[in-house]
Amino acid sequence: MNGPDERLRRLLGGDDTAWLLGRARRRMEQGRPLTGTVTLPAATPAQRRAIEALLGRRAGAGASLSVSLEDVDQVLRAGGVAEGGLPEAVVRLGGPVRDLAGETAALTAAWNDAFARLDALVAGRPELTGWRAWLESTGLVRRLAGTATEARPLLGALAAILARLPSPGLPLGRLAAETCGDAHALDEGRPLATLALSAARALGGQPYAGEGGADARRAAWAAVGVHLDDLSSLVLCLGLPGDERTPTGRMLHAARAAGEPCVLTLRQLRRHETPFAADLVRVCENPVVVAAAADELGASCPPLVCGGGRPSAAAWRLLDLLAAGGATFAYHGDFDWGGVAIAAALHERLGFRPWRFDTAAYQAVSSPARLTGRPSPTPWDPDLSAAMAARGVRVEEELVLAELIADLAG
């Protein structure tokens, strides 16, 4: 019996024409027309004979073999082998053709839907724009989740977490419980913890991938006010008055009398419920300022608190206790966009007067360091952000250390 299917298999379904059928199928999958010429480099004699048998004429000479798809289509139609021509032959010999363009569009739509809640949040948080682009370029979410279906709840939980950050004084387990309904959702090693930690680094002005290890993880969370435990969240201070009535107050009192810096834990500050009485408290970003003040001023140094970058939960607790005691604040930090973001958070929560941290002070310092990153507003001095963007220079606290110590001495 020599029916249409047998004739089609004999002409186009053998091993020696498989390359031609495969080329045609790929074009159909991609939505491309079956027109033009396809070429097989280094064709075998058997492959050349199979094409000659299909077309009914010689297939040229040379090492390569070129075939017109229109000619194949015409032969199949004219011979009654496939009324629909080459497209019909591809389906009859190999089954339905995939719609790759449609599959790609559906997959893209599914991933866009998975990211929708997170993208809506990022649209209102410009400080996360670079991090969001990094997620896309690295494919981190796709590696962690696998499919868009699995990614959707993961990214929804991530958006809920980011809506709470920065959130000074919040334990990590509580953040996980209140946003995900699982106190262990942000435990190290979980996909959500990996994504949330990279976002915390972004908010803290740190590299998104960051360093490994417990200390780096603790520091990244502390930068957005989240602490892993009451003992790992610390704040450095010098010259705070303290008191004689409470354990923490006595520690501060003794350290001030000795002219030595004091490190307090969040546990100590949470157990201390009485406000600390102080007038003006100066706040710096880097520990080097505290070290230099202790060396040069000792017990005569006025109240000084170090945020250590973005304030930890312990730092926020100490500043709140000082504010409750009537203190006002003067702030100095690094003239870079990370330092500006830290200052903006402090200004929003407690307010401060700039301590050599305004436009005039920025313009007065020479620095070879280039300013990188995304500009941020400076609400305590709106002109400062524009001046930094225009000048493009980063000024670290170490460059004005002598002036800061002189202010403290005065």
Concatenated DSSP letters of 29-81:
HTT--S-SEEEETT--HHHHHHHHHHHTS---SSSSEEEEHHHHHHHHHHTTS
Which of 98, 121, 138 is the last residue in one of the domains? 98
Contact 389, 370 (CB under 8 A): no
- Between CA 104 and CA 126 the distance in angstroms is 29
Question: Do 374 and 354 share a structural domain?
Answer: yes
Q: Coil, strand or helix: which one is 378? A: coil
Least confident of 17-26, 50-59, 226-235, 284-293: 226-235
Full domain range(s) for residue 353 = 234-409
Which of 185, 205, 227 is the last residue in one of the domains? 227
What is the rounded average pLDDT for all residues in the chain? 91
Q: Which of 354, 336, 343 is CA-nearest to residue 396? A: 336
pLDDT band for position 225 (cuts 50, 70, 90): confident
Question: Do 241 and 214 share a structural domain?
Answer: no
Q: For 180, left (φ over 0), alpha (ψ -120 to 50), or beta?
A: alpha
Question: Do 214 and 114 share a structural domain?
Answer: yes
Question: Do 269 and 124 share a structural domain?
Answer: no
Question: Do 358 and 335 share a structural domain?
Answer: yes
Q: Coil, strand or helix: which one is 330? A: strand
Question: Do 84 and 131 share a structural domain?
Answer: no
Q: For 366, left (φ over 0), alpha (ψ -120 to 50), or beta?
A: beta
Task: Summarize the confidence of residues 279-285 as an average pLDDT.
Answer: 97
Task: Summarize the confidence of residues 356-369 as an average pLDDT.
Answer: 95
Q: Give the pLDDT score at 74.
A: 94
Q: Which of 292, 291, 299 is CA-nearest to residue 252? A: 299
Q: Give the pLDDT score at 102.
A: 85
Question: Do 33 and 84 share a structural domain?
Answer: yes
pTM here?
0.57
Interhelix angle for 4-12 vs 45-55, to 10°? 140
Task: Summarize the confidence of residues 284-294 as an average pLDDT.
Answer: 97
Question: Do 300 and 365 share a structural domain?
Answer: yes
Q: What torsion, rounded to 10 degrees, do the Cα atoms 361, 364, 366, 367 define?
A: 20
Angle at 384 between CA 379 and CA 385, to 5 degrees: 80
Q: Give the pLDDT score at 331.
A: 98
Tracing tokens 């600390």 back to the chain, one arrives at 276
pLDDT tens digit sequence for 317-361 = 999 999 999 999 999 999 999 899 999 989 999 999 999 999 999
pLDDT tens digit sequence for 51-85 = 999 998 887 777 899 999 999 999 999 988 899 99
What DSSP character marks residue 98? Answer: P
Question: Do 404 and 298 share a structural domain?
Answer: yes
Q: Which of 207, 232, 204 is CA-nearest to residue 218? A: 232
- Between CA 40 and CA 18 the distance in angstroms is 11
Q: Give the pLDDT score at 48.
A: 92
Angle at 160 between CA 174 and CA 140, to 5 degrees: 105
Contact 253, 366 (CB under 8 A): no
Contact 167, 221 (CB under 8 A): no
Contact 177, 160 (CB under 8 A): no
Question: Do 384 and 240 share a structural domain?
Answer: yes
Helices (H), 95-146: 100-123, 129-138, 140-145
Please state, in angstroms and as integers, the Cα–Cα distance from residue 84 to each residue in 75, 79, 89, 290, 336, following that order: 11, 11, 8, 84, 68
Contact 315, 237 (CB under 8 A): no
Q: How many independent structural domains does the chain possess?
A: 3
Question: Do 173 and 55 share a structural domain?
Answer: no
Contact 219, 200 (CB under 8 A): no
Q: Give the pLDDT score at 313.
A: 80
pLDDT tens digit sequence for 243-253 = 888 999 999 99
Question: Do 223 and 115 share a structural domain?
Answer: yes
Q: Which of 188, 2, 19 is CA-nearest to residue 94? A: 19
Please state, in angstroms and as integers, the Cα–Cα distance from residue 203 to each residue in 196, 221, 223, following that order: 11, 10, 8
Please state, in angstroms and as integers, the Cα–Cα distance from residue 401 to each residue in 210, 291, 353, following that order: 28, 11, 18
pLDDT band for position 1 (cuts 50, 70, 90): very low
Q: Give the pLDDT score at 168.
A: 74
Which of 206, 227, 248 is the last residue in one of the domains? 227
Contact 102, 178 (CB under 8 A): no
